[in-house]
Amino acid sequence: MPAGQSEKTSWENEIFIETPYIRNIENRAMMYLEAGFPVHLSGPSGTGKTSLALNIAKNMGRPVTLIHGNEDFSTTDLVGGNVGYRRKKVIDDYINYVHSITESLQQQWLDGRITTACRNGHILIYDEFTRSRAEVNNILLSILEEKTLSLPSFQNEGQDLKVHPQFKAIFTSNPVEYAGIHKAQVALSDRLITLELDDFDFDSEVAITAAKSGLDTEVAERIVRVMRMFRETCGYPVVASVRTSIKIARVMSVHHLSPVSGEQTFGQVCIDILLSLIPGVSGREREKLVGLVEGIVDSCFQH
C-alpha cells in the first residue's frame, strides 16, 4: 500500500444508493449532527439505518467507531478497564557500592471503544443500542450532555475526560416489539434527535436491489413487486424488507436464472426465501402460502 494511504474497511467500499427519499433523511441527519446533536435512526429491520449511518460518517470524513449493541455488554466493555498490572523495575547503580532495585506494580488501562471515540473525536455509530441494557448505556448521558466521560480514578487521576470537540454520535434501533430489544431510557432519548425510518419507497428499493445484485432495473423492479405483494397479502406480520429482495436478486444473478414465469428454479427460490419470513408454518397453511407465491411470481413475470 502506498505510504500515507490507509486501508479502507469493507463498508467504505460498499455501494451506497442515494435517491431523493434517502438523500432527504441523510440531509436532515447531517444538519442535526453538524449542529452538535446526536442522531437516532429508528425503524424496522432492513430500512437502511446502518448503511445510512455509515455513509453519513463517510461523508463527514472522520474516523468511525462502530459498536453493535449487546445484552451482555458491561460498562467496562464500552468505557474500558484495567487489563492487569505492569511491573516497573528501577535499578540504581549511581554510587558503585550501593545497588538498589525498586520494583512497583502499575495498573494497566485499556480504553474501551466509547472512550477511544470520545478521546479522538471519532464518529460513534452505536448500532442497535437498545440491545444493550439501559444501565450500561447510562454512561452516554454525561458524554452527550456535559461532554465529559468519567473514568475510574486510577486511569485519569480523578479528572473527567473532556470529550473531543469533533466527537459525534449516531444511534440506530429496531422497534421495541422485536426480541431482545430494551426500551431506551427517557433521559437518553431526550438527548437524541430521532428520525423514524420506514420501508423504502419503491424507487429506492429497486435501485438498491439492482445495485446489490447487478441485475437490470427492470428485473429488480419485478422482484421488488413480488416481495411487496407477498408482504401485503400473506396475512402474517412479516418483516420483508429490501434485504429480502436483495437475497432473491443475488441468487438469480449468481445462477443466471431467467426471470420468466414458469422458470421452476426461480419460482422455488422465491418460495424458499419468502416462506423463510414465516418460520414454523407447515401442512395446509404452507401449501396455501406456496400457492400464493406461485401466483404472485406468475403475475409479476408474465412477459
CA distance 278 to 280: 7
Distance CA 102, CA 83 (A): 23
Least Cβ distance, residue 51 to ligand ATP (angstroms): 3
| String marking each residue 32-51 x if it binds ligand ATP according to CB under 6 A | -------------xxxxxxx
Other Cβ atoms within 10 Å of 209 Cβ, number: 29
Using CB under 6 A, count the residues that bind ligand ATP. Answer: 19
Q: Which of 67, 136, 242, 289 binds ligand ATP (CB under 6 A)?
A: 242
> 158 to 187, contacts with ligand ATP by CB under 6 A?
172, 174
Asked whether position 246 contacts ligand ATP by CB under 6 A, the answer is yes
Residue 47 Cβ vs ligand ATP, minimum distance, rounded to whole Å: 4
Spatial neighbors of 106 by CB under 8 A, at least 6 apart, are 85, 86, 88
Q: In whole angstroms, how close is the CB of 162 to ligand ATP at the nearest point?
A: 31
End-to-end Cα separation, the chain, in angstroms: 49
Considering only residues 191 through 220, tell me which ones interact with ligand ATP, judged by CB under 6 A: 208, 211-212
Q: Which is nearer to ligand ATP, 242 or 289 (CB)?
A: 242
Decide whether 26 or 81 has the Cβ nearer to ligand ATP: 26
State in angstroms the smallest separation of the CB of 22 from ligand ATP: 5
* CA-wise closest residue to 145 among 205, 95, 187: 187
Helices (H), the chain: 20-34, 49-60, 75-79, 113-120, 134-137, 139-145, 153-156, 186-189, 202-213, 217-233, 242-254, 264-275, 283-300
Q: Give the nearest distance from C-beta 80 to ligand ATP in angstroms.
A: 26
> Scanning the structure block, which residue is given the C-alpha cell 479522538?
120
Contacting residue, 22, 33, 270, 274, with ligand ATP by CB under 6 A: 22
Point out which residues bind ligand ATP (CB under 6 A).
Answer: 15-17, 22, 45-51, 172, 174, 208, 211-212, 242-243, 246
